[in-house]
Amino acid sequence: MIWLLRIVLGLTALGWLAGWLKAVHRKRHPRFVLGPGDPPCDPELLVSVVIPARNEIDNLADCLEAVLAQDHPALQVVVLDDGSTDGTTEVLAALSDDPRVTVVTGGDAPLPEGWFGKPWALERAQRHARGDWLFFIDADVRLAPEAVSRVIAYGQGHELGMVSGLGSLEMRSFWERVLQPAIGGLVLAGNDLDKVNDPEAEGHDLANGQLIALSRGAYERVGRHAAVKADILDDIGLARACRAADVPYHCLYLRELFSCRMYGSLREIWEGWGKNLFAGLRYSWGNLLGALVFTALFTQSGPLLIVFGVLGGGGELLWWGLGLTALMQVTRLTLDLIWGLSPLYGLTHAPANLAVMALMVSSAARSSGAGVSWKGRVYRPGETGSR
């Protein structure tokens, strides 16, 4: 059995080495990166920025300020107040004086049969949009002034129907800095943008609902948000719908064009990712098991072998543990430096991933049982609407 263990540990070490080499190569030869220095689109092209807002009193003012500061002059902004109860309605009333802003009152009636909350909000909001391109963003997004014009120009220049991307993640609390990079690392590990952006690569669909831009024609072709009305992950659903409808799209690195603070507390992280993780695994217990084994092998085996080695499990186990842990930490340090994160929190990579594994199991259990909750609504796979 020792030879089998050596093979598994050797492959794990090679996996970490390959990850480190890939990170270094991507830093030196960036691909799918868009920034303020890229060319803008036609200034006369009407773009509608569409924002769903449900209990976003802490975010909406800053979000709208950034949207209205865009360097693209032909801009319409549609905000749908999705039954807010926290004062968002009053904030919107104070911000709606700008003639570019259209405020839509969504009400808090039960969701229609067959719909989840965010797709229904976006479907209603887009009915008021007049733009040739629809630029969907979340209320916790902060756009750089060049964001709209550069993203649309990229889509037109590459003859795409949809453009999405990964922005800069704002992290302020301890738990954000510990858990968010670990979860983000797992997402990126399973979604190579070379494959995501290859129309021939089946099963590698990725979009980020924080920012999705679609041409009007592409949006109608995929079936609008009705195509993803029962998807908790409506962004990935749109990517799959684009591929199914032969609508070309790209997912880009947009760190210089927008930022987002997804969750501010441990509870929000647990609820938010608890809603998403099992859905991202397509509600498959087999996929969950594979993700758990992968995560355990790559993040827990090194530290555990060090413990076993120190406790008398043998010098070879100790050396394997030290080697795997060193490779893990060097790779994490490299990525932290590339992404501008604090290297200090990289030292928590192993325990953070242990927590992420627990979060995966919790997400699966809740999705299969009482359901996952977000912003006052409860969702269960296979059931539509909310309760």
- Give the tens place of pLDDT for each residue, 165-181: 999 999 999 999 999 99
Q: pLDDT at position 119, please?
A: 93
Low-confidence ranges of the chain (pLDDT < 70): 313, 373-376, 380-387
Using DSSP, state whether 258 is helix, strand or coil. strand
Residues 32/197, Cβ–Cβ less than 8 Å: yes
Tens digits of residue pLDDT in 212-226? 999 999 999 999 999
- Alpha-carbon span 64 to 51, nearest angstrom: 9
Would the pTM count as exceeding 0.85? yes
How do 133-137 and 211-215 pair as beta strands?
A: antiparallel
Q: pLDDT at position 266, please?
A: 93
Using DSSP, state whether 373 is helix, strand or coil. strand
Cα distance from N-terminal residue to C-terminal residue, the chain: 52
CATH 3.90.550.10 fits 47-167+208-264, yes or no: yes
The distance from CA 316 to its chain's CA centroid, rounded to whole angstroms, is 40
Residue holding tokens 């406790």?
311
Of 330, 366, 274, nearest to 13 (Cα)? 330
What does the DSSP assignment read for 54-98?
SS-TTTHHHHHHHHHT-S-SSEEEEEEE-S--SSHHHHHHHHTTS
Q: pLDDT at position 374, please?
A: 66
Task: Please give the order of strands across the beta sheet that includes 101-105.
Answer: 101-105, 75-81, 47-53, 133-137, 211-215, 162-166, 249-253
The distance from CA 114 to its chain's CA centroid, rounded to whole angstroms, is 24
Q: pLDDT at position 95, please?
A: 76
Start-end of CATH 3.90.550.10 domains in the chain: 47-167+208-264
Q: pLDDT at position 386, please?
A: 47
- Alpha-carbon span 39 to 165, nearest angstrom: 17
Q: pLDDT at position 375, please?
A: 67
